[in-house]
Amino acid sequence: MAQYRELTLRGIILGALITVIFTASNVYLGLKVGLTFASSIPAAVISMAVLQFFKGANILENNMVQTQASSAGTLSSIIFVLPGLLMLGYWNGFPFWQTTLICAAGGILGVIFTIPLRHVMVVNSDLPYPEGVAAAEILKAGDHNQLISANSNAPQSGIKQIVAGSVVSGVFSFLAGGLRILSDSASYWFKSGNAIFQLPMGFSFALLGAGYLVGITGGIAMIAGMLLAWGVAVPYFSAIAPMPEGTTLAGYAMQLWVTKVRYLGAGTIAVAAIWTLLTLFKPMVEGMKLSLQAFQKSHTEASIDRVHQDLSPKTMGIIAVAMLLILAATFYHFVASAPISAGLAIGLVICATLLAFFIGFLVAAACGYMAGLIGSSASPISGIGIVSIVLISLVFMVIGQTSGVFAQVGGNEFMTALALFTASVVMAVATISNDNLQDLKTGHLVHATPWRQQVALMVGCVVGAMVIAPVLELLYNAYGFSGALPRPDMDATQALAAPQATLMTTIAKGIFSHNLEWGYIFTGMIIGVVVIIIDLVLKKWRPGLSFPSLAVGMGIYLPATIIMPIFIGTLLAYWCTRVIKKRHMGESEKQAALKTVERRGTLFAAGLIVGESLVGVALAMVIVVSLASGFGESPLALNLPNWAVPSQILGLLAFVIGIVVVARQIVKK
């Protein structure tokens, strides 16, 4: 393989195009439901399908494309924090250069921070890296230079599965979100005494695909959190405070959930994040030790073998310093318009830059370890964000109190906004750290050159960063976010939930205003502790069983109509596995069939997510053009009379048919 070309111009261009598509998809999905998908596997399949038409295409070039494009599934997680600046009222849109520079600089720092961890966490580690290993297997199966056999059509069949999933979800999304002839959710509300209950259902194929990737363990934990929220908490609060006159069952229950129950979820998520960091303290220390050793050690020894070549310590240092200067300049531009003195502005810039750098460095090892343990998609990145926003907010609160900023008009809002802006950088560092080692594991298995992969990921960070601001601006103007609508006459029910950004903003505002609902948060923290104890008991009782506390917290925090299709997706994955196990008796035959079905299901799930997400972005463009032309925000809606109930029935019917079709395709012989 030494003679193979790896980092090529055509590969970079293809990787950039895939990055643009998957970044837009992930931004939309993350704002809608608070989840993103890892794009390495679908990117690898698309790369193989396209590059097979070019002379000299090989496994290492395909690996570079998926490495670059994988940044789409991770850097887009910055939307878990950044929209909070609009919810706060500090921004009215997404300034292109500020947004792009913090995404790119933070992402590149995430690459730099995890390079010294490669030997201890990838080469000399037994961590499973599920997505990295899966991507490597797909690349090997599709390598026409090494595998000319019955499996040589794997890239074609893979792209067909992604397209098929995209068509199913895309058509449904267009009928539901465009023509509005299908409903995307339905709920039945009823009372028992004064207690209000909800039987929810959502019909999103993107969420079905996300659930398929999450797996049954996470699905059970999330449904448990949902039952705790809607089967216990909301009925309790509605029972002790009867519904006021003039309100509906649904309206009052949602008000209780937003103002009380969601804080329980926030507390549970916070405890889960802290517990994760505590359990990962040892690998974090090991990572920091290795980072220091890497800069003290000579790099000539590693340069003997191509597959051991990382970026040199000198190059890493230069890039890190350059990114710090970019961050400092971006922070200065952010604080320049604030009502503070020049000296304080410089002090805040230095403080924000150092906080982003050091907190980012601390979480890099934790995120890399989590990716290796449970995969990038399932890693609790939002939990890292919660811990970060709390730490950063507390530091800036002390600075604000000692400098007198809070006594000035707009001072509180400014410091809250600066905390969110700084946390956005940490989030960018964390997400790329979470992804980089996964990609390096893939490269290690296919014998790629590490430093070329690291360059490819940096290129992906830059391309992805340039896409994020325009897509955010587009979606904001088309749909709005919960608590941040660009126009007063917009339909708030169509707003994107942006659940993590809402949570981060609520926590930051509560800390600076000293009015955070600590009682509900502390109760949620107690719930988190109980769930962690249950999880530990289960793992000790039977290895392989778990009850992840972060998933329980997400089940409490996310809307029930979002949780249900995710849970159904986890059941679908479990059912597919059971069918294959019953179908094949021999162990070797069973394992081969399970691998095939796992790959097929992963590709279908990715297609379901991509299809709905891209239709959502396309509809957003139509809405923006329609608004600019004066035709309203629902230009494609048919507005059929008395269609609410029929649309829900048709939505449910279409969803069930879609599930049956997808299930049959996944388990077919």
239-254 pLDDT, tens digit per residue, is 998 888 888 888 899 8
Max mean pLDDT among 27-31, 37-41, 336-340, 533-537 falls in: 533-537
- State residue 570's pLDDT score: 92
pLDDT band at 630 (very low <50, low <70, confident <90, very high): low
Distances in whole angstroms, Cα of residue 243 to Cα of each of 193, 223, 237, 657 = 11, 26, 10, 38
Greater model confidence, 70 or 169: 169
Q: Would you state the structure tokens that stand for residue 322, as one six-digit string?
A: 């350059």
Average pLDDT of the residues of the chain: 82
Q: In this predicted structure, what is the pLDDT of residue 259?
A: 82
Cα separation, 323 vs 422, whole angstroms = 14
Q: Is residue 458's pLDDT more than 70?
A: yes
Average pLDDT, integer, range 580-594: 80
- Split at pLDDT 50, 70, 90, the class of 557 is confident
**Which residue would you say has higher pLDDT here, 578 or 32?**
578
pLDDT at 449: 87
Query: If pLDDT is split at 50, 70 and 90, which confidence band does 136 have?
Result: confident
Confidence of residue 144 (pLDDT cuts 50, 70, 90): very low
Between 62 and 530, residue with greater pLDDT: 530
Domain span at residue 78?
Answer: 1-669
The number of folded domains in the chain is: 1
User: In this predicted structure, what is the pLDDT of residue 227?
Assistant: 96
Output the pLDDT for position 410: 80
Place of tokens 């073998």: 305
Predicted local confidence at residue 280, as pLDDT: 63
The pLDDT of residue 15 = 85
Give the tens place of pLDDT for each residue, 476-514: 888 888 778 888 777 777 788 787 788 888 888 888 888
Which residues are bridge partners to 186 per DSSP?
201
**Does the pLDDT at position 283 exceed 50?**
yes
Structure tokens at 522: 């502390």
Q: Are 363 and 433 in contact (CB under 8 A)?
A: yes
Q: What is the pLDDT of residue 151?
A: 42
> What pLDDT is stored for residue 135 in this prediction?
74
The pLDDT of residue 156 is 47
pLDDT of 166 reads 86
Distances, alpha carbon 273 to alpha carbons 252, 355, 380, 517, 520, in Å? 31, 19, 7, 19, 17
Residue 376 pLDDT exceeds 70? no
Q: How confident is the model at residue 290 (pLDDT cuts 50, 70, 90)?
A: low
Coil, helix or strand at residue 395: helix
Lowest mean pLDDT: which of 118-122, 548-552, 569-573? 118-122
Asked if residue 30 lies in contact with residue 36, where contact means CB atoms within 8 angstroms, the answer is: yes
CA distance 493 to 86: 18
Percentage above 90 pLDDT, the chain: 23
| Ranges 375-379, 406-410, 665-669: which has the least confidence | 375-379
Kindly report the backbone phi and psi dihedral angles of residue 481, in degrees, each rounded to the nearest multiple of 5, phi listed first.
-115, 160
Distance CA 381, CA 368 (A): 11
Q: For residue 181, name the pLDDT band (cuts at 50, 70, 90).
A: very high
Task: Give pLDDT, residue 377.
Answer: 57
pLDDT band at 378 (very low <50, low <70, confident <90, very high): low
- Res. 523: pLDDT tops 60: yes
Residue 190, H or E segment: strand 185-192
Asked if the model's pLDDT at residue 30 lies above 80, the reply is no
How confident is residue 373, by pLDDT bands cut at 50, 70 and 90? low
Least confident of 295-304, 415-424, 655-664: 295-304
Above 80 in pLDDT, residue 299? Answer: no
- Give 189-237 pLDDT, tens digit per residue: 999 988 999 999 999 898 898 788 777 888 899 999 999 999 999 999 9
Mean pLDDT calculated for residue range 552-580: 89
Q: What distance in Å separates the CA atoms of residue 95 and residue 97, rounded to the nearest whole number?
A: 6
Q: How many Cα neighbours within 13 Å face the side chain of 321?
A: 6
Per-residue model confidence as pLDDT tens digits over 46-95: 788 788 888 878 888 888 888 888 776 677 778 888 888 998 888 888 99
Pick from 24, 39, 148: nearest CA to 431: 39
Q: In 479-515, which ranges are continuous DSSP H helix?
A: 499-513
Mean pLDDT to the nearest integer, 567-576: 93
Nearest to 137 by CA among 69, 66, 208: 66
